[in-house]
Structure 1
């Protein structure tokens, strides 16, 4: 006799890996320091603007605030020099970046000038330059589109080779789940699909 249980599959039907989702940019006309802008963006959006490629840059420059009357003001973005690992983005989560996107730069001629007192980055005249973080500038925040997650329950029956195996042992359950994941991925299941066991009303996972 086999063991019966249910497997939960979390399917992100509208999901593209985060790096494939375009950033949404939000211009904030508050004149504050880079650190204050970072705090504001993290509270209200995700972070100060990250720009991962020239397409992002072009979309950002088409924002109304830049296109109206050819505005050429100076705004903070999320790039800064931490004095340890050199230039990096305020948004540190690697899940938000595709290949090479964290390294994209759009410096103006002569920038960065590597002056220690100017470790924060602005856009000015459509190009990037480093400035003193204590200066007060308007700024751009970013978000990414929400991800829609759906859930599907699949009934499975397992027949262990060892009939004495305790199927309700958490270690055994995790080992079986990992084996199922590996086999499904070999058959083409995306890494974006998450699996876990469904607990039965009595608190157990498997029943004979």
Structure 2
């Protein structure tokens, strides 16, 4: 049986909390992975919680029941609605990749090392190792791919340096897309073509996003987080043993989570707090 704790509704009269008309927050202590938690919140409420101010974290900290979040390891954590899209290829056709081929990487030492505040794209050095960088930097030439059935031809374009988006548009207009490097064979073909300069390939990563599509510059990361060197930590949990500070975790881990939904508002400065346990 699901056990929900209805928290406190933050009203628009308390503008430090939320610009929305009002919200109710729900802790769900039945453990689910991020995708399952997201589905649950969308079906029963609005979505996984988004946090746009420290006052929201204070509300969640005040009401979190740590006893309900005790696990065999990594206790006291609950999913919030923040996630960072994993690395993806510009050529998104799933039929183009065999199992595991979307995960092939040849990062250079210390790479990737960019944060999650902006879209990040990938170029190849002369030695064949990969570097993540801002997609807006006009510093590299495109490596395009021409795909015809099972035949793939790589085309190195070294006429002028471009941004990653410019390189993507160039390749899509004249060929199929920016190059996807699916395996060591693809990598060796491309490396054998490289000359002086840097070369964009199709690998990119979007920044952190809230599940409900909202935007906010507020963050509450734990020291050392997010770990830009661990590409598997793409979903975010709040650690309520550390004041709710945020950590990146693999999305398939199961833990408690927090939903939100529309709340009643009784006027500026007034609160709605039933403080009741209930379940289906």
Report the TM range for the smaller structure's normalisation.
0.5 to 0.7
User: Once the 2 structures are TM-superposed, how far is the Cα of residue 23 of structure 1 from its aligned partner?
Assistant: 3.2
Give the aligned partner of residue 41 of structure 2: 41
Match of 2:216, SS state, is helix
- Aligned mates of 1:136, 1:20 — CA distance in 2: 30
Alpha carbons of 1:69 and 1:117: their partners in 2 closer, same or farther (altered >3 Å)? Answer: closer
Aligned partner of 1:131 among 223, 240, 249: 249
Q: Which one has the largest radius of gyration?
A: 1
Match of 2:19, SS state, is helix
User: Once the 2 structures are TM-superposed, how far is the Cα of residue 59 of structure 1 from its aligned partner?
Assistant: 0.8
Match of 1:102, SS state, is coil
Query: Following superposition of structure 1 onto structure 2, how do residues 151-162 of structure 1 map, counting pairs within 5 Å?
Result: none
Do the aligned residues in 2 keep the contact of 1:88 with 1:102 (CA within 8 Å)?
Answer: no
Give the aligned partner of residue 86 of structure 1: 207
Query: Following superposition of structure 1 onto structure 2, how do residues 1-208 of structure 1 map, counting pairs within 5 Å?
Result: 19-66=19-66, 73-83=76-86, 84-92=205-213, 94=214, 102-114=216-228, 115-124=230-239, 125=242, 126-145=244-263
Match of 1:103, SS state, is coil
User: Once the 2 structures are TM-superposed, how far is the Cα of residue 130 of structure 1 from its aligned partner?
Assistant: 0.2
Alpha carbons of 1:15 and 1:120: their partners in 2 closer, same or farther (altered >3 Å)? Answer: closer
User: Once the 2 structures are TM-superposed, how far is the Cα of residue 69 of structure 1 from its aligned partner?
Assistant: 9.9
- Aligned mates of 2:209, 2:29 — CA distance in 1: 24
Do the aligned residues in 1 keep the contact of 2:29 with 2:68 (CA within 8 Å)?
Answer: no
1:47-83 per-position Cα deviation (integer Å, ceiling 9, x unaligned): 00111100111011111525x7997611111000024
Alpha carbons of 1:111 and 1:22: their partners in 2 closer, same or farther (altered >3 Å)? Answer: farther
Q: What TM-score does the superposition give when structure 1 sets the normalisation length?
A: 0.53
Which structure shows the higher helix fraction? 1
Do the aligned residues in 1 keep the contact of 2:35 with 2:251 (CA within 8 Å)?
Answer: yes
User: Once the 2 structures are TM-superposed, how far is the Cα of residue 113 of structure 1 from its aligned partner?
Assistant: 0.3
Match of 2:65, SS state, is helix
User: Once the 2 structures are TM-superposed, how far is the Cα of residue 116 of structure 1 from its aligned partner?
Assistant: 1.3
- Aligned mates of 1:30, 1:120 — CA distance in 2: 18
- Aligned mates of 2:62, 2:37 — CA distance in 1: 21
Do the aligned residues in 1 keep the contact of 2:82 with 2:209 (CA within 8 Å)?
Answer: yes
- Aligned mates of 2:80, 2:263 — CA distance in 1: 19
Q: What TM-score does the superposition give when structure 2 sets the normalisation length?
A: 0.40
User: Once the 2 structures are TM-superposed, how far is the Cα of residue 137 of structure 1 from its aligned partner?
Assistant: 0.7
Do the aligned residues in 1 keep the contact of 2:29 with 2:69 (CA within 8 Å)?
Answer: no
Do the aligned residues in 2 keep the contact of 1:46 with 1:142 (CA within 8 Å)?
Answer: yes
Do the aligned residues in 2 keep the contact of 1:22 with 1:56 (CA within 8 Å)?
Answer: no
Do the aligned residues in 2 keep the contact of 1:48 with 1:91 (CA within 8 Å)?
Answer: yes
Aligned residues: 127
User: Once the 2 structures are TM-superposed, how far is the Cα of residue 38 of structure 1 from its aligned partner?
Assistant: 0.2
